[in-house]
Structure 1
Amino acid sequence: MEIREVEAGTWMAFLEGHPEAHVLQTAPWGDLKTGFGWRVRRLLLVEHGEPRAGLQVLIRPLPLRFFSILYVPKGPVGEWQHPEIFRSLIAALDRLAQETGAIWLRIEPDAVDGELQLDLKAFGFRPASPIQPRRTILIPLQDEEGAILQAMHPKTRYNIRLAERKGVQVREARREDLPLFYRLLQQTAARDRFAIHTFDYYRAAYERFVPHMARLWLAFYEEEPVAALMAFAWGERAWYFYGASGDLHREKMPTYALQWTAIRWAKARGCRWYDLWGIPDEDPEVLEAQFTSRRDGLWGVYRFKRGFGGRVVRWAGAFDRVYIPWLYRLIQRLGLL
């Protein structure tokens, strides 16, 4: 087995054979992050001339001179759960850690909780706080549109139709519409009290992903932009990453019209699942018991998302491999992990 460092084109050719891969492992995602403080490296394990597994690793230089962190979001990809393959990949990451002064390596496998075939603790990893949402809702797209609608909560179906009856129009956004999208995003962030990226970040995401792997839609009421949604797709899945709504005409239910547009887009391009990307990390019984009374954190969006049907999924979480223990512990005590 041989580990090769590869460029974006070779990496994407490998991913073409892995429709189950996560969009966060695609080259455009790595390239996006390079514009905002990260570096990216792509490692491919080849055996007898055939690629068997690989990963895209993000490198974050720290203000502390000579130090960094390594992060593998939703990877590795391929046959990485074979012990010998995983051991080879980790050895390559260990060498990269030494080269970059990494304090720790964090991986977040794209695997459902309880379905990891490897015991990562046996490879020197410890459980860590995930960066990506631990729990989500996956909507199956294999059935016809009518069946997908029928699997939704009746109130959600009603709201989708209400938006149409009230005259909400959904249009695919162009690059010049990005300021409208960002203005709606700012209103949403101020109202719901969450942080957003800079305008340049969303513009870079649009430029790297649209139209091949993403779409941005705007909803209008009487020619006034009232809501927006940006969804991404790779292989078998699509992901709802960014949503926004203004303070006016929310009773016209434009966010429901947008979500149905994105679901139909994902189905039309052959995706098998639509990932609503982030709900509270609680068991389904707790979610159903508390969603009417809770508004903190991701509870505020769970009531909206649950109406679209699907099943609740919990991911395996994050794991750290620590290279400089004393500095890792110090950063933990400072609350920076």
Structure 2
Amino acid sequence: MVDAVSVVRATPPVRHDLGNTRRARRSGAAQTASDVRFADADEIRRWDELILRSPDEGNVYRGSDNIAGMVVGGGTPVYLIVGGFAVIAFQVRVPVSGPLWVLIGPPVADVHDLIAAAREVAAFGARHGITAVRLRTQLRANANDEMALRAAGLRRTPTWLDDSTVLVDLRGSEHDVQARFKKRARKSIRRAAREFVVVDRVPATDDNCRVLYEMLDATSGGRFHIPSLATTTAVFQRYEQSGRGQLFLARHCGEVVVGAFVTTFGKTALYFGAGSVRKRPGDPTECGLGGSRAAYALQWEIMRWAREQGCEWYDLDGTPSSATITDESHQRHGVGQFKTAFSEEITDYLGAYQIDIRPGRAWTTRQLEICAGRVDESPLLNRLRRRPVRPNPDYVWLHPRRRSR
């Protein structure tokens, strides 16, 4: 089973005069922001170089190509230097409540550094009229760290990125890589060859982007948002032009049945967007790949390409958490079973947390999000709207009281 991965994971000209500079009321924010500043023009020009120097070596979402994709989608990037490291933020304007900064980062070593950085960025944001700051780091999930964040006044919030993923080790020979797969994946790759599945690396032309987009759209079926065809095409072509992206289309019996777009940053490749034909027109819940095993052949060709680019890891980007991977009622159960065929280990991230600057307004924003999220996942409303959407048990931010017990 193949899911459609959102092409633009965040929604956000570079603006440094971001709103009211009156001193805002702060809750938990540090009294100084000496370690936080806006990046200068030269640092922005060398952005990818600076991100790769980060202790965690960054990721695709913090790179210049993704930032350009955010701009295409109407986003407003804010380039920051936090504790000496490059950190990208996106400003999101919320009606009534005021603007938020959403950081992809910073590259902290532990939860104590995260709390300190959050307070410093909040103090800096307060001087620029920001209501709250959200941070989504690469720190792994840990119950003690979650408690420390709550004790420090930070609250779990929705994230633009998936909080659980599968990382495939690409090091060693091709034999070494496949030896780490489950038996099911190896057999499926061989089966696809017997079924004469062909996977092509194709240019990101308008026509090829449209082919993949139509499968993305069919796989989505209204269950989650995907950007427009124009935005998707522009983003794919931007990555291709920079040499950090490749479009793949897999054919069975001459017909395209599944496709993907993959990006790279540093030593990691990312499964950036994918979709497949559906079993029945208009039904997004069941893929139509049958017994061809084309999805497995596609993944193997992606990994071969990523290795050629010098990548050591392949991020399959999005799966149920390690706590819910065996839950058959999970709306992404099939996705998780497919992806863990290539690596059994699931990486759970700590998730996104918010520090309030203007507490009343920030609280309003969070409550509106929670209400909207519960409406979106309501079984009754989705039956009425004929949307095949089921509650996601990994959306812990939807039930903060339950989580805090």
Compute the TM-score of the two structures, normalised by the length of structure 1: 0.84
The residue identity in structure 2 corresponding to 1:263 is M
Aligned match of 2:132: 104
Once the two structures are TM-superposed, the CA of residue 301 in structure 1 deviates from its matched residue by 0.6
Once the two structures are TM-superposed, the CA of residue 14 in structure 1 deviates from its matched residue by 1.2
3-state secondary structure, aligned to 1:41: strand
Aligned match of 1:321: 355
Once the two structures are TM-superposed, the CA of residue 330 in structure 1 deviates from its matched residue by 2.3
Structure 1's 249 and 198: CA in aligned 2 closer, same or farther, altered over 3 A? same
3-state secondary structure, aligned to 1:226: strand
- 1:25 pairs with one of 62, 65, 84: 62
Deviations 1:211-231 (A, max 9, x none): 522211011223321110112
**Is 1:255 aligned with 2:295?**
yes
Aligned match of 2:173: 144
Compute the TM-score of the two structures, normalised by the length of structure 2: 0.71
- 2:191 pairs with one of 158, 162, 184: 162
**Is 1:332 aligned with 2:366?**
yes
Identity of aligned residues (%): 22
**Is 1:125 aligned with 2:154?**
yes
> How many angstroms apart in 1 are the aligned matches of 2:163 and 2:172?
27
3-state secondary structure, aligned to 1:186: helix
> How many angstroms apart in 1 are the aligned matches of 2:110 and 2:81?
11
The residue identity in structure 2 corresponding to 1:202 is T
Once the two structures are TM-superposed, the CA of residue 103 in structure 1 deviates from its matched residue by 2.2
Is this contact kept in 1: 2:322–2:347, CA < 8 A?
no
3-state secondary structure, aligned to 1:163: helix
Once the two structures are TM-superposed, the CA of residue 266 in structure 1 deviates from its matched residue by 1.8
Aligned match of 1:201: 231
> How many angstroms apart in 2 are the aligned matches of 1:127 and 1:317?
7
- 2:106 pairs with one of 47, 58, 76: 76
Pairs aligned (count): 321
Runs ≥4 residues deviating over 4 A: 78-83, 85-90, 118-124
Once the two structures are TM-superposed, the CA of residue 206 in structure 1 deviates from its matched residue by 0.6
Is this contact kept in 1: 2:87–2:106, CA < 8 A?
yes
Unaligned runs of 5+ in 2: 1-33, 279-287, 374-405
Once the two structures are TM-superposed, the CA of residue 120 in structure 1 deviates from its matched residue by 4.8
The residue identity in structure 2 corresponding to 1:260 is W
Structure 1's 277 and 88: CA in aligned 2 closer, same or farther, altered over 3 A? closer
**Is 1:94 aligned with 2:134?**
no
Structure 1's 26 and 6: CA in aligned 2 closer, same or farther, altered over 3 A? farther
Is this contact kept in 2: 1:20–1:237, CA < 8 A?
no
Structure 1's 33 and 113: CA in aligned 2 closer, same or farther, altered over 3 A? same
Is this contact kept in 1: 2:168–2:342, CA < 8 A?
yes
Once the two structures are TM-superposed, the CA of residue 107 in structure 1 deviates from its matched residue by 0.5
> How many angstroms apart in 2 are the aligned matches of 1:54 and 1:86?
17
- 1:274 pairs with one of 314, 323, 332: 314
**Is 1:135 aligned with 2:164?**
yes
> How many angstroms apart in 1 are the aligned matches of 2:117 and 2:192?
53
